[in-house]
Amino acid sequence: MARKLPRKDVVIIGLGWTGSIIANELCDEGLDVVALERGPWRDTATDFNIGYAPDELRYNSRQELMLRPAQTTVTARNNADQTALPMRQYGSFHPGNGVGGAGVHWAGITWRFSPADFRLRSHYTERYGAQSIPEDMTIQDWGLTYEEMEPYYDRFEYLAGVSGKAGNLNGQMQDGGNPFEGARKREYPNPPMMQTFGPTLFAETAAKMGYKPFPIPSSLLSRTYTNPLGVTMGQCTFCGFCTNYGCANYSKASAQTTVLPILMRKPNFELRTLCEVLKVNLDSTGKKATGVTYVDTSGDEFEQPADLVILCAFMLDNVRLMLLSGIGTPYDVRSGKGTVGRNFCYQMANQVVGFFDPAKYNFNSFIGGGATGMAIDELNNDNFDHGPLGFLGGGSTRCAPIGAEPISKRPTPPGSPTWGSGWKKAMRDSYLSNLSVGCEASSYANRGNFLDLDPTYTDRLGRPLMRITFDFPENDVKMSAYVTTKVAEIVRAMGAQTIVENPRTRPWSVVPYQSTHVVGGTAMGADPSTSVVNPYLQSWDVPNVFTVGANVFPQNSGFNPTGTVGALAYRAADAIRSRYLKSPGPLVQA
């Protein structure tokens, strides 16, 4: 029997980027807010101290900041005719564990999605005709526009102190920025990052080939910056220990470096760590949430009553909680009916590695950061004519050296010896003279890719594991091959002696790391028959439940998701403050 606790106005599940933003906004509204976090407390000064922050064995090899399979895992398969098996080690993607979530160990690349992304099905239908969209492709519009998102993108960018160069200011194109981006009201809060030799060479070569390169928008700071909440962050030092690491220098934006120093001081906010939410509790009608049930490290269960429940955990956990709590109708792949679990997507992470003459090229591979570098956008989204190509979608192409760590980075060109003195020489010669160019590409929803509860396997608390059914659709495989070939042309023109192309191919495997950009499962939209939440991220079925995260994406763009997730958090918080609290109930009529 769960012990019932005193009521709160709001209970938030998970305290990463979204949970911190929404908690801070609602506390400012005067609400009594409690956040329940499954993992431990994490703070820059104590957890990412400069003395051990650049510890590759601890953070990259042993993945200290990541979720452990013993806590919970998923089962995976490529299609509905297979038996899903548990992931015994997180490989393909790395969910975060603890306060800050995956926003602690992220790279910091901070895009806005394009205007066409938010009305994707309408866009392709208008440009190429309905027949251009494969029958099994279930892409859909988001139920809002880029113009509605723009002010919330702006708020997140100024919170994080994003470093970049605008390409479109109020409809006026700007030299040096992304010419394909949607119009923005003002410049980035900070100028672009400085560029090392590799990205500079990439940009110069791409420009000669007719592309328009621009600096990657980065939540690594190019200078000291104080955000609108009054939190000051420092300039990035290009230490090379960034992706998979916390930032000891307070230079990478995260909940820890932007929001928590303010939020944790508020008397109407409470955080409980090491508390795992089991389910959202519903009343007898099933149409109203009464709070949540959670368990702490003692193993005892607690019931936390609340007027408003907001799911801000990792996207897979948000979907799983909806399913475990009976909120919405689970998706059935056979009939195509139901919405919870539908439109699960990944990201097509493609890469070309160039090996250059070590006598002429020194890229100083150990210098870098998760979001430093130069990019082009001509191969992204619908920025090129797809009519004769037989596929839709594309990706952002960039040269972004993150830092070649001493344990894991052992580059050797094809044909090199695999052991002994020959291998050592090849690795030594290649370490400073290899460079990769990646294309983070779209992942479009497919009828056969979905999430549901596993009928066989359970977690340590006896709850069904999340089951992932996913494989790369034919459309995305064709797109991956095309963009990778185009990227290889640039790397070859840069002067590489040897090129290794790594397009994404089937079948999807859970073993190698590819991207933590998993999305979908509780898609947002204006139509309840194809979406789980409305355009304000409010459940169609239980109006006092909101869910915020990449799980609301109807499909994935050719951009990293965090900027859009942060903007959606601000938009949902604004809707709660300005509309829901005045008149609790549905913000949009079904």
Span 221-225, mean pLDDT? 98
Measuring CA to CA, which residue among 411, 512, 454, 472 is closest to residue 92? 512
- Specify the pTM: 0.97
Backbone angles phi, psi at 350, to 5 degrees: -105, 150
Determine whether 346 is exposed, middle or buried from the number of CB atoms within 10 Å of its CB (0-12, 13-18, 19+): buried
Identify the pLDDT of residue 51: 86
Query: Could you give the dihedral angle defined by the CA atoms of residues 318, 45, 371 and 404, in that order, rounded to the nearest 10 degrees?
Result: -110
Identify the pLDDT of residue 458: 98
Is 400 within 8 Å of 371 (Cβ atoms)?
Answer: yes
Determine whether 438 is exposed, middle or buried from the number of CB atoms within 10 Å of its CB (0-12, 13-18, 19+): buried
Identify the pLDDT of residue 358: 94
Whether 270 has a pLDDT exceeding 80, the answer reads yes
Identify the pLDDT of residue 28: 98
- Percent pLDDT > 90 in the chain is 97
Q: pLDDT of 373-422, one tens digit each?
A: 999 999 999 999 999 999 999 999 999 999 999 899 989 999 999 999 99
Whether 338 has a pLDDT exceeding 90, the answer reads yes
Active-site residue (options: 94, 123, 386, 517): 517
Whether 125 has a pLDDT exceeding 80, the answer reads yes
**Mean per-residue pLDDT of the chain:** 97
- Alpha-carbon distance 80 to 86, whole Å? 15
- Name residue, tokens 């044909």: 415
- Alpha-carbon distance 586 to 540, whole Å? 7
Active site residue 123: no
Q: pLDDT of 94-104, one tens digit each?
A: 999 999 999 99
Q: Which helix (H) or strand (E) holds 325?
A: helix 315-325
Distances (CA, A) of 360 to 224, 364, 374, 433, 496: 35, 12, 21, 8, 11
- Alpha-carbon distance 93 to 71, whole Å? 16
- Alpha-carbon distance 491 to 498, whole Å? 10
- Alpha-carbon distance 44 to 55, whole Å? 15
Beta carbons within 8 Å of 97's beta carbon, 6+ residues apart: 38, 39, 40, 65, 66, 67, 68, 71
Is 437 within 8 Å of 128 (Cβ atoms)?
Answer: no
Whether 547 has a pLDDT exceeding 90, the answer reads yes
- Alpha-carbon distance 261 to 265, whole Å? 7
Is 487 within 8 Å of 344 (Cβ atoms)?
Answer: no
Is 17 within 8 Å of 562 (Cβ atoms)?
Answer: yes
Q: pLDDT of 479-493, one tens digit each?
A: 999 999 999 999 999
- Alpha-carbon distance 573 to 156, whole Å? 12
Q: In Å, how far from its chain's centre is CA 174?
A: 28
Whether 1 has a pLDDT exceeding 90, the answer reads no
Is 576 within 8 Å of 308 (Cβ atoms)?
Answer: yes
pLDDT band, residue 533 (cuts 50/70/90): very high
- Alpha-carbon distance 575 to 191, whole Å? 31
Identify the pLDDT of residue 301: 98
pLDDT band, residue 589 (cuts 50/70/90): confident
Q: pLDDT of 36-73, one tens digit each?
A: 999 999 999 889 988 888 999 999 999 999 999 999 99
Identify the pLDDT of residue 181: 98
Is 485 within 8 Å of 351 (Cβ atoms)?
Answer: no
Other beta carbons within 10 angstroms of residue 568's beta carbon come to 28
In terms of residues, how long is the chain? 590
What does 12-37 look like in DSSP terms, one character per residue?
Answer: EE--SHHHHHHHHHHHHTT--EEEE-
- Alpha-carbon distance 564 to 172, whole Å? 23
Whether 590 has a pLDDT exceeding 80, the answer reads no
Identify the pLDDT of residue 152: 98
Identify the pLDDT of residue 49: 87
- Alpha-carbon distance 149 to 213, whole Å? 25
Q: In Å, how far from its chain's centre is CA 273?
A: 23
Measuring CA to CA, which residue among 411, 408, 409 is closest to residue 426? 411
In one-letter notation, the amino acid at residue 179 is P
Span 123-128, mean pLDDT? 98
Identify the pLDDT of residue 303: 98
Paired tokens of 244: 């998979």
